[in-house]
């Protein structure tokens, strides 16, 4: 387990000390309104840590990535709107540095007063953050570590990344696990090691290749694995169905066929599909059996019979883990599958975990009651890799 936690740090006293906090402020933005955050769940999730440090008089320096810029500044991925939002949530302004470790960051870090919060510009504007080369990552981590006396990791969504701010900074500073990281690990540990049976996992999202390892790890443990979203079409193809213009990973069809055989009926696929003429909210769409998707259409959601089938399996579960939307929920005509499955999960007599940026955002975007779920994780990839049983670099670094 973690060597030290945020509570230990608060117990030591942080007044006047410089605390470098790695947060995951990789929030989604409204596609039609640039600069407008569409779901601030990740910012809210790290608030308790920031508030506790601020109120204890720490000089708080927050760092995060946003999107996947290529190691150089790119205005599309600036964290500036996030600094504004964070200030609103904290009820006190957040100072924003227009670079990560440059002159502006150094000046603003040096000028911080007790109880003030500074957000550095996007970590991934620096090639050292994601570098494969240990020395290059280490050099950047050294610049970050120079800002502070201690380091707190509360970026659960990024603990699966071997990046400078996640893996190399804690090797250079006294390090503590934040409350969000602690809570996430506690829940995922329980679901991984001792899930109450029956255990049902619902997987969606676009690619089978992203989920292959987790499917293999989970198959021996689950009673049912329900597959929706874009990835279901590769499975349907493996069952011998034509999928029209739907998303398909041809090179994964044989693997899916193997998984279906291994699973002996425990992988459940949609029986009907909402098939549209194109990827658009205005496209003509019809619900068809999953075995009869027309050649000129693409599946954009699971159909109502599939929702009923999935809801029945979910309803009998004592533990449900859900990652990935069932369809293109951002477009109203294709949101019913995700909504139906999410609602079924809220009704179980047991413990549910929603894993992932997209599924968590779906819960809030669709106006579902967040408190009806057992736990909503801020990490997509991170929670899946935890379930796979992998060593996560960020957690590993905190344990050393
Ligand atoms: C996420 O959104 O999954 C996390 O913030 C990690 O982002 P990444 O997948 O770009 O590393
Ligand atoms: Mg991700």
Best residue for ligand 1 mutational test, from 22, 38, 65 (most atoms within 8 Å of Cβ): 65
* pLDDT above 90 (res 291): yes
Of residues 2 and 348, more confidently modeled: 348
Q: What is the overall mean pLDDT for the chain?
A: 96
What pLDDT is recorded for position 365?
Answer: 86
Report whether 100 contacts 140 (CB < 8 A). no
Phi, psi of 35 (to 5 degrees): 90, -10
Sequence-ordered strand ranges (E) for 210-305: 224-227, 267-268, 272-276, 285-289, 298-302
Burial 72-94 (b: 16+ CB within 10 A, else e): ebeeebbbbbbbbbbbebbeeeb
Give distance in angstroms: CA of 333 to centre of ligand 2: 25
Using DSSP's 3-state secondary structure scheme, residue 183 falls into helix
22 backbone dihedrals φ, ψ, rounded to 5°:
-85, 120
Residues with CB under 6 A from ligand 1: 24, 26, 68, 157-158, 161, 357, 380-381
pLDDT for position 234: 97
User: 294: CA distance to ligand 1 center in Å?
Assistant: 35
Would you state the structure tokens that stand for residue 141, as one six-digit string? 């981590």
Q: Is 2's pLDDT higher than 80?
A: no
Q: What is the pLDDT of residues 232-272, one digit of tens each?
A: 999 999 999 999 999 999 999 999 999 999 999 999 999 99
Q: What percent of the chain has pLDDT over 70?
A: 100
In the annotation, is 76 catalytic?
A: no
Position 186 pLDDT exceeds 90: yes
Rounded Cα distance between 355 and 380, Å, is 5
381 is catalytic: yes
Distance CA 44, CA 78 (A): 19
Nearest CA to ligand 1 atom 4: 157
How remote is the CA of residue 362 from the centroid of ligand 2, in Å?
14
Handedness of CA 107, 110, 113, 115 (dihedral sign): positive
- Helix residue spans in 111-156 (DSSP H): 127-130, 134-145
Q: List the end-to-end C-alpha distance of the chain, in Å, as a whole number.
A: 9
- What local confidence, expressed as pLDDT, does residue 356 receive? 79
Active-site option among 207, 318, 364, 390:
207
pLDDT at residue 120 greater than cutoff 80: yes
Q: Is 340 a catalytic residue?
A: no
DSSP string covering 223-261: SEEEE-STTHHHHHHHTT---TTS---GGGHHHHHHHHH
Show the tokens assigned to 150: 């201690």
Q: Is the pTM of this model over 0.85?
A: yes
- Rounded Cα distance between 386 and 399, Å, is 15
Bridge partners, 156 (sequence order): none
The predicted structure's pLDDT at residue 32? 83
Q: How confident is the model at residue 361 (pLDDT cuts 50, 70, 90)?
A: confident
pLDDT value for 117: 98
The ligand 1 atom nearest the CA atom of 157: 4
CA of residue 2 to ligand 1 center, whole Å: 22
Pocket test for ligand 1, best of 380, 382, 383 (most atoms within 8 A of CB): 380
Question: What pLDDT does residue 30 have?
Answer: 86
pLDDT tens profile 296-346: 999 999 999 999 999 999 999 999 999 999 999 989 999 999 999 999 999
Q: 207 catalytic, yes or no?
A: yes
Please answer whether residues 85 and 43 qualify as being in contact, where contact means their C-beta atoms are separated by less than 8 angstroms. yes
- Furthest-apart CA atoms within the chain: distance in Å: 66
Select which of 204, 337, 350, 381 is catalytic: 381
């Amino acid at each position: 387990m973690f060597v030290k936690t945020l509570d230990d740090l608060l117990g030591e006293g942080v007044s006047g000390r410089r605390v470098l906090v790695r947060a995951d402020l990789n929030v989604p933005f409204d596609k039609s309104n640039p600069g407008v955050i569409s779901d601030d769940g990740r910012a809210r999730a790290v608030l308790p840590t920031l508030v506790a440090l601020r109120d204890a008089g720490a000089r708080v320096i927050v760092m995060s990535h946003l999107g996947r810029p290529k190691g150089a500044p790119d205005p599309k991925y600036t964290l500036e709107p996030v600094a504004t939002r964070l200030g609103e949530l904290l009820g006190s302004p957040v100072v924003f540095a227009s670079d990560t470790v440059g002159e502006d960051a150094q000046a603003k870090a040096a000028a911080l007063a007790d109880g003030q919060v500074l957000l550095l510009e996007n970590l991934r504007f620096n090639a050292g953050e994601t570098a494969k080369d240990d020395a290059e990552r280490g050099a950047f981590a050294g610049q970050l570590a120079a800002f502070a006396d201690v380091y707190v990791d509360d970026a659960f969504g990024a603990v699966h990344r071997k990046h400078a701010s996640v893996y190399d900074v804690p090797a250079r500073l006294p390090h503590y696990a934040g409350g969000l990281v602690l809570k996430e690990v506690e829940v995922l540990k329980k679901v991984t090691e001792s899930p109450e049976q029956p255990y049902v996992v619902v997987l969606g999202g676009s690619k089978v290749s992203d989920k292959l390892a987790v499917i293999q790890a989970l198959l021996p443990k689950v009673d049912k694995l329900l597959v929706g979203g874009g990835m279901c079409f590769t499975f349907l193809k493996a069952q011998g169905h034509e999928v029209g213009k739907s998303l398909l990973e041809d090179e994964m069809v044989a693997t899916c066929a193997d998984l279906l055989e291994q699973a002996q009926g425990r992988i459940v696929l949609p029986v009907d599909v909402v098939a549209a003429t194109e990827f658009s909210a205005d496209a003509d769409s019809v619900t068809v059996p999953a075995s009869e998707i027309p050649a000129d259409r693409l599946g954009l959601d699971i159909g109502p019979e599939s929702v009923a089938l999935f809801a029945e399996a979910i309803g009998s579960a004592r533990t449900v883990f859900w990652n990935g939307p069932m369809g293109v929920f951002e477009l109203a005509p294709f949101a019913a599958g995700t909504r139906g499955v999410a609602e079924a999960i809220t009704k179980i007599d047991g413990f549910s975990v929603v894993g992932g940026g997209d599924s968590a955002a779906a819960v809030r975007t669709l106006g579902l009651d967040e408190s009806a779920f057992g736990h909503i994780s801020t990490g997509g990839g991170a929670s899946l890799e935890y379930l796979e049983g992998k060593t996560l670099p960020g957690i590993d670094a905190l344990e050393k």
